[in-house]
Amino acid sequence: MRCFLNLQPIKVISFDLDDTLYDNRPYIDKAETEFLLFMKHHFPAEHQWESHFWWSEKKKLEAENPAVSHDTWKSREDNAYRILLNMGYSPQGAKAGAKAGLDHFLHYRSDFKVPEKSIELLKLLATKFKLIGISNGNVDPKRIGIAQYFEFILHAGNGHRMKPAPDMFIESCSRLQVQPQEILHVGDNFAADVVGARLFGCQAAWLNPAFGRVEKELPDSLLPHISLDSVFELTSLTDS
C-alpha cells in the first residue's frame, strides 16, 4: 500500500465490483461469446453476428444517443433491437428477440461466485464500516454471492450516469446521510473510480493492478489517497 494523501476518518467503504473483488475478464468474455452465438443461432443473418459487427453497430447507436452509453442493459437491448429491425423483423419481433438475447447474456454475465477470500474481506470490513457498491457494470450481486454484505449496490443506468459522473456518489451520500469525504471508494479503473471519487470529494483507493492482473498503470491526473497492490491490503483499515 502506498499513501499519497492522508486518509480522513472513514464511515463508508464503497466498492467498484468488476476487477476489484474478482477478475471479471473470463466471465464477461464468456457472456459476450454466448450472447453472439445465441443471436446467430436464433436470428441468422449475413453478418453472422460477428463481434466486430456488433461493436461497430453499438458505437453508431451510442454516437446517435450518448445517454444510452450510461446504461449497459439498455444499450445492449437497444442495439440488438435496431439490428433486428434492420434485418426485417417487426417491431414486436425485434423487441422480443432483443429481450431474449439480453436475458441470455445476463445469465452468463453472473454465472460465477466471488472468491472466498474476497468474501472474507467483506465480512471483516463490515465489522467496522458500512459497505456499499458503486458499479458501472451489470453483474447480479445476489447470484455472485455478495449482496448480503452491502447496505446497497448502485449500478449505472436507470437515471444514473456512469462513473466518473457523480450521480451514484450523490445518491449514496443521500441514502446514508454522510459527507463525501467520509466515503472511501475502492476501484481498479483510474478514470472512473479515482477521478470520479476525487472530483466528488470522496477519498479514493486505487487497486493497481486490477484483481488478477500484474500490469500496473500510471496515474494521469488526480492522485488517489492510497494505492493498493492487492485489495486485501484493506484489512489494515480495521487495525486502528
Write out the catalytic residue numbers. 16
Buried b (16+ CB within 10 A) or exposed e, 88-119: ebeeeebbebbeebbebbbebbbebebeeebb
d(CA 81, CA 101): 10
* Alpha-helical segments (H) within 1-45: 25-42
Q: For the chain, percent helix, then strand, then coil, each to nearest 5?
A: 50, 15, 35
Provide the edge-to-edge strand list for the sheet that holds 12-15.
2-3, 226-228, 203-207, 183-187, 12-15, 130-135, 153-155
Largest separation between any pair of C-alpha atoms in the chain: 63
Closest of 238, 39, 30, 239 to residue 122, by C-alpha: 238
Which phi and psi (to 5°) does residue 189 adopt? -95, 115
Distance CA 194, CA 185 (A): 8
